[in-house]
């Protein structure tokens, strides 16, 4: 934990809100195969360009009461939600990592994971572009961040991607259905690269635990039927976040608790 003044934390939160509004653009456009740069933000209903003043995260949503200024079409609650989540995570990351390249690395990973989470929840896909962007940034930031070795990344990829690929290949034989999408397998490349061994595998373990619990809960609540698809990407994302924030502490606790 690092002590930061309110101003610094507020600035980090603001940067998070603004980044969150860009993540919203990616969530909308990536599954549609649209460019994330052009055209500038426009209403998805009437196509009118959004005024600069209405681009301000969360506040503009509240001022416009969640509707387009021109046609009155409802703007999804997902927009301010993603912005707020990103803002809060930026503050949490700053407190966890201090200002350095490690912080930058995990900010990038968090943005990729958020984009993938919300796309997977809505469309049941994990776009290759998001995975490729994650891999490219991860390779660029690997050396400057320097928190894990190249071998660690390599073992992370081999173990986690190997495991998910194995599940992907055997589940049609054992359960007579696809247990794990190829998108999840591709996402595990990113997890291995950023988290390394053993954290990326631990992240998959956490994802399976949380995913299993959530799946059971949804079935009990009759929200989902047995056999219905629940996207796994969001759980892999959540598992990754838990592990790069507290994975080492988790392992230390486990080892000292049970093996000393």
**Residues binding Zn ion (CB under 5 A):** 43, 45-46, 68, 70-71, 73
Residue (70 or 101) nearer to Zn ion, CB: 70
The candidate with the shortest Cα–Cα distance to 93, out of 225, 245, 199, is: 245
Closest distance between Zn ion and the C-beta of residue 49, in Å?
Answer: 10
Closest distance between Zn ion and the C-beta of residue 227, in Å?
Answer: 39
Distance between CA atoms of residues 56 and 52, nearest Å: 7
Residue (54 or 147) nearer to Zn ion, CB: 54
Residue (73 or 228) nearer to Zn ion, CB: 73
What residues pair up with 74 in beta bridges, in sequence order? 67
Distance between CA atoms of residues 54 and 118, nearest Å: 23
Distance between CA atoms of residues 174 and 192, nearest Å: 26
Tokens of 50: 């959004």
Distance between CA atoms of residues 71 and 208, nearest Å: 43
Closest distance between Zn ion and the C-beta of residue 70, in Å?
Answer: 5
Closest distance between Zn ion and the C-beta of residue 112, in Å?
Answer: 29
Closest distance between Zn ion and the C-beta of residue 51, in Å?
Answer: 12
Closest distance between Zn ion and the C-beta of residue 69, in Å?
Answer: 7
The candidate with the shortest Cα–Cα distance to 142, out of 97, 186, 105, is: 105
4, 93 Cβ separation under 8 angstroms: no
Residue (80 or 127) nearer to Zn ion, CB: 80
DSSP H helical ranges for the chain: 6-29, 59-63, 78-97, 101-123, 128-145, 150-174, 182-195, 199-220, 233-259
Residue (49 or 248) nearer to Zn ion, CB: 49
Residue (56 or 70) nearer to Zn ion, CB: 70
Dihedral angle computed from the Cα positions of residues 254, 256, 257 and 260, in that order, rounded to the nearest 10 degrees: 130
Residue (2 or 42) nearer to Zn ion, CB: 42
Distance between CA atoms of residues 168 and 165, nearest Å: 5
Dihedral angle computed from the Cα positions of residues 148, 150, 153 and 154, in that order, rounded to the nearest 10 degrees: -160
Closest distance between Zn ion and the C-beta of residue 42, in Å?
Answer: 8
């Amino acid at each position: 934990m690092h002590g930061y003044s309110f101003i610094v934390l507020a600035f980090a939160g603001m940067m998070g809100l603004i980044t969150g509004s860009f993540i919203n653009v990616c969530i909308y456009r990536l599954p549609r195969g649209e460019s994330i740069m052009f055209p500038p933000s426009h209403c998805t209903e009437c196509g009118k360009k959004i005024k600069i003043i209405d681009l301000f995260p969360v506040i503009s949503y509240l001022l416009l009461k969640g509707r387009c200024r021109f046609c009155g079409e409802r703007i999804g609650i997902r927009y301010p939600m993603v912005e707020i989540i990103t803002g809060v995570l930026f503050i949490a990351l700053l407190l966890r990592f201090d200002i350095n390249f490690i912080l930058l690395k995990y900010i990038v990973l968090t943005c990729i994971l958020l984009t993938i989470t919300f796309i997977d929840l809505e469309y049941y896909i994990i776009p290759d572009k998001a995975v490729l962007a994650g891999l490219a940034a991860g390779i660029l930031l690997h050396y400057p961040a320097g928190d894990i070795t190249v071998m660690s990344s390599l073992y992370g990829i081999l173990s986690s991607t190997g495991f998910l690929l194995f599940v992907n290949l055997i589940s049609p034989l054992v359960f007579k259905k696809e247990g794990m999408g190829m998108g999840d397998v591709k996402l595990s490349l990113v997890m291995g690269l950023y988290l390394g061994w053993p954290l990326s595998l631990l992240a998959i373990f956490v994802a399976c635990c949380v995913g299993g619990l959530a799946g059971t809960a949804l079935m009990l609540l009759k929200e989902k039927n047995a056999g219905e698809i629940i996207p796994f990407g969001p759980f892999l994302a959540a598992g990754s976040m838990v592990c790069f924030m507290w994975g080492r502490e988790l392992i230390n606790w486990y080892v000292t608790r049970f093996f000393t």
